[in-house]
Structures are given as C-alpha cells and as structure tokens.
Amino acid sequence: MKKGFLTAWLIAFGLMAFAQQPLRVGVAGLNHDHVYGLMENYKKGRVLILGIAESDQQLISRYKQKYQLPDSLFYSSVSAMLEHIKPDAVLAYNPIADHLAVVEACAPRGVSVMVEKPLATTVKQAERMKALVDQYHIHLLTNYETTWYSSNQQVYQMIYEQKRIGNIRKMVAHDGHQGPKEIGCSPDFLKWLTDPVENGGGAVMDFGCYGANLMTWLMQGQAPIAVTAVTRHYKPDVYPKVDDDATILLEYPGAMGQIEASWNWPFGIKDLEVFGQSGYLHALNGNELQERLQNSYDPVKLSPPAYSDNLVYLADVLRGKIHPVNDLSSLENNLIVVRILEAAKQSAREGKRIVL
C-alpha cells in the first residue's frame, strides 16, 4: 500500500470513527420525566454522560441507584459542572422557566444546548436566549416527541415535494392525554409541570406547543397574523393552579390552524390533520398516515425518516452535517412557538383576538 494512500485512508478512518462516537453530554436537571429516555440510551452506550447538574439529594439518590451512576458525575449547578467537564452539548431536563439559566451558563463557554419542549415560558426569556446564541455562536435546539414521527415527516414531503394536496388551507393538531397525574408522572415532575410560573401554564403550554411547532414548520417559518384561544379548568381539584384544556386558533393569510391541547382525554392522542386545496392528510400517530383525495381514502406507506431521535440529529448539527434553519427543533421555529403560546394565554385571559 502506498504511503500517500495509507495516510489518506487513516485520516478518513479517523474521521469516520469520530463521526460514529456517541455524544458526550452534560445534563441539566433530573426532575423532568423525559430524562428516563436519556438514561436508557446511556445504559445502551448511545450517549456518554460526563456530568449531571442537580441539587435535589433525593433525586440524585434515586437516579444513582436506578442507573448505577457514580458520585463523580454529580454537581450542584450547571456552572459548577462546566468547570470540570467539556461536553459536546448540555441537555436540559428541568422546569421550562429554568431553560434560560442553562443557556446563560452554557453560552459564554461555547457549549450548545438542547432543551425539552417548549423553549421558554415567555417571549422575554426566548429573546434573551436568542441574544446569547447570536453573541456566542452556539446552537440552541428544542426537542419534541412529534419531531421524530415518520408520519409527520412524510406529511411535509407530500405537501412540498410531491405536491399531493395543493396549498394548505387548514391544519388541526390534537395533542393530549388523561392528565399528567392520571398517567403517573413523578411527583418531582408534577410539582413544576402544574405550576403557572415554572411551566408557564398547564395544558396550553404542555400540549399547545406541539401544534404551534408543527404548524410553524408546515407554514415554512411564517408566524400567524393573529391568535385566539380559550382555556378551560375542568379539574380544579386536581390542577388548582393551571388550565387543563386549551383550544388555540391561528390565522395565516391563506390558511387556519386549530390546536387542541388537553389533560382531559380518555387516552393519549398526538395526531395531525392537514387540508389542502385538493386533498387531505391525516397522521393518526407516529406510524400511521392516511391520504384522502376526491375519490380515494388510502393508507400511506411510510418512508424511514432521516432522523428517528434527538441524539443522532443533535450529533449531526454539532458536527456541521446539517444546519437547522426552520426545522422543528430550530431556534427560529421555536421563537415563534413561544410567541404563539404567550398570545394564546393573553387571548384566553382577556377574551379577545391577539394580533401578532
């Protein structure tokens, strides 16, 4: 083997090996139940956890025991953690109102962040995050379960690449379940999820964000002209501080969006309907999609999505393989999501249509 060829082969092999290495992450908080998914990936070797910022000793003890985590992984704060580790990114599993503090700790150190949905509880918080991202040139991404649904990805392709149903005229998103307490969320999660400050609201935030995220994406980054919302409080004995049901209407120049978010349904639903000029698409869940045209109503065979979870996607963003602009995790999309949610809460509170 010639020396030049061998050198090139070794470089290529080294780059390939680097690309295949699991992400090295720091974790901000353990009181969001979505962190269980990360821990399962840690057990499988799909991600390396370099440090965990958590001050609640009972949470630390629980996770240490369940996942055999060493004492050396734990730090009292994100800042303290980042003094000792250099992760590829920090993943936030803490109250939504605390996302800003995570970005404030990470951005000056050049560390990118991925938070669990939604990005922030207020527009003011979101704009501060955007300023930090611009100043320190980091990535700030938001993770939603529905981002990785094959059905949703195919809906977008059928509308914009295959031109199957013409221009969008109406979108309807149903996202909800029986309620976080009813489905068995942990007490630590419930404590802030049902708090009007730490979560920013109840179902309007927890599930309203899904539809706002998907509709902003389907409208290719366009913000709605106006937002009108009604929130309800069907279970004040269970959720005394926050709403448990929300209906949000989004007005666009040529289309309407309707978001149904609830903690009051008989079972979990995350579906998406899109009505076009000539057809209708219905993603019943992550793996089922139906198409209805003038004279047909058929299931659609789904293609594998480009990304099936946030870890592979995040790795490709950090390594420059993809550049999020208005995809579902992008900062641009999620700034609009926060604007929609804040307008929805104002509309429900004041009983009027809010013009953006």
CA 216 – CA 327 distance, rounded (Å): 9
Q: Which of 145, 179, 202 is the last residue of a domain?
A: 145
120 & 14 share domain = yes
Confidence of residue 342 (pLDDT cuts 50, 70, 90): very high
**Which structure tokens are listed for 170?**
């109406």
Indicate the pTM of the whole model.
Answer: 0.93
8 & 115 share domain = yes
For strand 269-276 and strand 280-283, is the pairing parallel, antiparallel, or unpaired?
antiparallel
- What pLDDT, on a 0 to 100 scale, did the predictor assign at position 139? 98
191 & 248 share domain = yes
CB 155 within 8 A of CB 289: yes
Residue keyed to tokens 């499988």: 44
**Tell me: the pLDDT tens digits for 55-89?**
999 999 999 999 999 999 999 999 999 999 999 99
CA 59 – CA 98 distance, rounded (Å): 17
- What pLDDT, on a 0 to 100 scale, did the predictor assign at position 260? 98
73 & 136 share domain = yes
CA 99 – CA 32 distance, rounded (Å): 12
**Tell me: the pLDDT tens digits for 128-157?**
999 999 999 999 999 999 999 999 999 999
134 & 236 share domain = no
**Tell me: the pLDDT tens digits for 345-354?**
999 999 999 9
- What pLDDT, on a 0 to 100 scale, did the predictor assign at position 204? 98
128 & 154 share domain = no
87 & 100 share domain = yes
Average pLDDT score over residue span 330-349: 98
| % of residues, the chain, pLDDT over 70 | 94
Range of the domain at 220: 150-305+329-355
Does 5 have pLDDT greater than 50?
A: no
Confidence of residue 118 (pLDDT cuts 50, 70, 90): very high
Whichever domain contains 108, its CATH number is 3.40.50.720
Average pLDDT score over residue span 236-264: 98
Confidence of residue 165 (pLDDT cuts 50, 70, 90): very high
Q: Residue 176: beta bridge partners?
A: 262, 269
80 & 207 share domain = no
**Which structure tokens are listed for 192?**
């802030």
230 & 349 share domain = yes
Q: Which of 145, 160, 188 is the last residue of a domain?
A: 145
- What pLDDT, on a 0 to 100 scale, did the predictor assign at position 331? 98
- What pLDDT, on a 0 to 100 scale, did the predictor assign at position 276? 98
Length, in residues, of the chain: 356
Does 16 have pLDDT greater than 50?
A: no
Q: Which of 113, 130, 145 is the last residue of a domain?
A: 145
Average pLDDT score over residue span 79-103: 98
- What pLDDT, on a 0 to 100 scale, did the predictor assign at position 20? 67
Please indicate, yes or no, if residue 162 is contained in any of the structural domains.
yes
Number of structural domains in the chain: 2
